Chains A and B, each alone.
Chain A
Amino acid sequence: MSAINSKNERIFQFCWTAFFIIITCIAMVPILRVLAVSLSGKNAILAGKVFILPVDLTTEAYTRALQSGSFVNAFWYSIVLMLASTVINLLMTVLAAYPLSKKGLVGGKVIMTLFVLTMYLHPGVIPEYLNVRDFKMVDTVWALIIPGALSAYNMIIMCNAFKGIDEAIYDAAKIDGCSEARCLISVILPLVYPTLATLGLFYAVGRWNGISDVLYYINSSKYFTVQMVLKQFVESINVSVEEGLQTNLVAENIKAASIVISMLPMLIVYPFVQKFFTKGIMVGAVKG
């Protein structure tokens, strides 16, 4: 264990830490820019003076964005929607992935192949819309939850994680007399917490950022998610030329502020997701 503190190791740690800090800084440039724009004055932005540091510092944009009615309403609604759909997504994913990870399951291969193929099916928006309409889900929150309840991509990742678990653990659980369901809940799931947390994050982000289903299936603006409102907010200027309005409907800094605010929930959730990462290690270590 003395090698951990050797000189080589220290140099290695130092260099790679520096490397990652640089990479991260580069990656942060665009985000810093959005942040800077959100805190800058309108004229400075128009004149292209803002890059990653705010010019004419002002928080007016945040006040304005937070005052906008649609935005605040949509915000809370989106959070609830995101949580609900993430739970359903994860449930569906585990329900499909667990049986399909079993090697000997009769018919499992066929079902798996059918799932894989769904990733490459593109029925087009109209058939998808008609389908949702046939289930009477248009203009209900269900249209935002059910059609995307399971992503084959994530399911396959989950399945892969289940496959990675040592057979011996299953056998031990079986000997203890666990049913499949018990075994899954109390023994297997804790072992794949990191993957579960990751997929939960992906589902949550997907739901949070997803716009097209909101656009197609929702007609009442009370069911618009925050990203939809934001998109309207940010892009309404693009179409105003044909309308002859030609006024700056929403200033750049307010748009940027809205983007920053819309990213906040993810920033808050993320540290909790990371908690599960460590937990997975602990459980893994215990079983060894």
Chain B
Amino acid sequence: MKKKLLATLLSAAMVVGAMTGCGSSSGTTTDTTTQTDTATQTDTATQTTDATATTETAAEDLKGDEVDITVMVWDRGNAAPNTTTEDNALTQWIQQQMKDLYNINVSYVSVPRSESDDKVNIMMSGGTAPNIVMTYSQDLFYNYASSGALTDLSELYKQYGSNIEQYCGEAQTGIADLGDQKFAVMKQRGTENARHTAYIRKDWLDQLGMEVPKTKEELGKYLYAVKDAGLGTPWGMSGRADTEKMYLNFLGSYVDIPDDKFAYTYAEAYMAVAPGAKDGLKQLNTWYNDGLITQDFPTDTDESVFLADVANGKIGFVLDDTTHIWDSTAVLNTTLGAEDASFIPVQCFDLPDGSYRTPYEYRYAMFVMIPQETTSDEQAVACMKYLNWLADPANAVQVRYTPDLTYNELGVAVEPSTADKEAKGYPGTCDDLCIMNLNFDWVNNYDTMAESNYQTQEQDWASVDWYKNYYTVCQTGKYRFPVYGYVSDEQATYGTDIKNKMLSFVYTCICAPADQFETVYESGYQELVNSGLQKILDSRAAYYDSIN
């Protein structure tokens, strides 16, 4: 019974897949083939891979000899019943597409998401890595690229990467380049957004008869007013030991960035020690000692206390990952009994010149790499074809939202419900197979996104206008720090340690008794310097000079 059901589902999925596959790819493949046709013959006539293709028609050109490739896929323990992460309705659909279009046999290797980098490291060192691996870590990428463990993709990208160039071009900023070689293609992010966002209690502002603050000075007045009125903790913080989200935007607003070199040198992990940031630390220290900031917040390492305080309406102001407190706010608004009842996004960290700077996510997401040791030339070509196929939004959308996707009246793709996905055998997180492109038509139309957010919210906690305002606030002072693919030896060696120490340094400075702030700051800063901070900063400045 079960088997029969599964079989019908699979065949259904394949039929749908074949149909949609034809529809979407016919348009794109023709124009790519004409481009690559000439390239294949002129640039790499020596490469044997496509030699056979020359005798065939243009449409068949990319369909070379049969090639097997293995692709890493993240496992989150949420595959549908009777399927696995590497073998389910969605992977089968992709496999079918690849077979039909390019004669490529794709198989998947699942890597546990939470330990992904460790596992990739092991497989790379053991010579058992799949043909496509990925990481978010620039350090890891650079380590591989500089030790020769990755296939140089420059030529392949020129030949087979037309979709990537066209649709994910924003992400290919050179972060994956070393000199004139390209060692990874970058996944393109979806909605362009701020990294961290501050939120303030609108209802408390009203209660106190205050306007939404526009400067840090006004923020300070609000915080003191909250404390005097006994409403709760004015500024709530948590103590995660791996992110600077709780303070970075605030400290950054004390730093004047004169030029690109400065921006690159201190980008962005080193902002807390950039000239000027000390004043920000001093301010936080004063506020902490005046009881405006959660006492002993660094002990709340898993953020449970912080999130509970937000949900229980005990906090007046937060700075956090941009959407992190939404769930807790939803609980609070439900308790208060109205949409938009509590937190609203706010940008009040004015720069010395009165403007704002909101650091944005880069357009690239992760590094998608092809290991040298385990990949033959034919496989590398096949991998690039695979990635190029995935870069086309028409294909990407079917991977991300399953081939059974629907579109709502806003034109936004909607994936089947969880139950539906499970019944059809699609994995829990389809996104894990969509490794190249999330940049769909609608993702950067903020009005549509606001509507879409409103429609998809589980609890009725925020209005469309709230979401629109959110995007407006996020865009105020949009800024991106310059970034390059290079990682100096100094940074590779001391980087992680400094990052950890930097967090300790900032937290300790904030929590220091007011009269000891100077000594704590000095000794902490000295320790950072001794641990290699200055070397890192110098190497970054030197690198900037070397290329400009």
Contact = CB atoms under 8 A, between A and B. Distances in A.
A189 interface: no
B114 to A, nearest CB: 4
Contacts, number: 140
Interface string B77-112: 111111111100000000000000000000001111
A13 interface: no
Interface stretch (A100-108, A115-123, A165-173, A228-236): A228-236
A221 B85 contact: yes
A245 B428 CA distance: 13
A221 B110 contact: yes
Interface string A41-69: 00100111100000000000000000111
Contact of A70 (B79, B125, B190): B79
Range, interface on chain A: 35 or more
A55 to B, nearest CB: 12
Interface in A249-276: 249-250
A138 B125 CA distance: 14
Interface of A: 43, 46-49, 67-73, 125-126, 129-130, 133, 138, 215-216, 219-222, 224, 228-233, 235-236, 238-239, 241-246, 248-250
Interface in B123-167: 125-128, 136
B113 A239 contact: yes
Interface of B: 75-86, 109-116, 118-119, 122, 125-128, 136, 189-191, 193, 243, 304-305, 307-309, 311-312, 321-324, 327-328, 331, 334-335, 361, 365-366, 422, 428-429, 431
What 5 A-B pairs come out closest when comparing CB atoms? A48-B308, A69-B81, A232-B77, A235-B114, A229-B77
A222 B83 CA distance: 9
A48 B110 contact: no
Contacts of A233: 76-78
Contact of A46 (B85, B113, B331, B361): B331
Contact of A219 (B110, B190, B312): B110
Chain A, interface SS category: helix
Given A219-B111, A249-B78, 5 more contacts: A47-B312, A130-B126, A215-B115, A233-B78, A236-B78
Contacts of B75: 221, 224, 232
Contacts of B127: 133
B268 to A, nearest CB: 14
B77 A68 contact: yes
13 contacts: A43-B334, A48-B312, A49-B308, A67-B81, A129-B126, A215-B112, A220-B109, A221-B84, A232-B76, A233-B77, A241-B321, A244-B193, A244-B365
A70 B422 contact: no
B77 A230 contact: yes
Contacts of B428: 68, 249
Given A220-B110, A249-B429, A47 B311 contact: yes
A69 B79 contact: yes
A236 B119 contact: no
A70 B422 CA distance: 11
A216 B122 contact: yes
Contacts of B86: 220-221
Nearest to B82: A69
Nearest to B117: A239
Contacts of B83: 69
A239 B114 contact: yes
B128 A138 contact: yes
A33 B309 CA distance: 19
Contacts of A219: 109-111, 128
A247 to B, nearest CB: 8
B324 A129 contact: no
A232 B82 contact: no
Contacts of A126: 122, 125-126
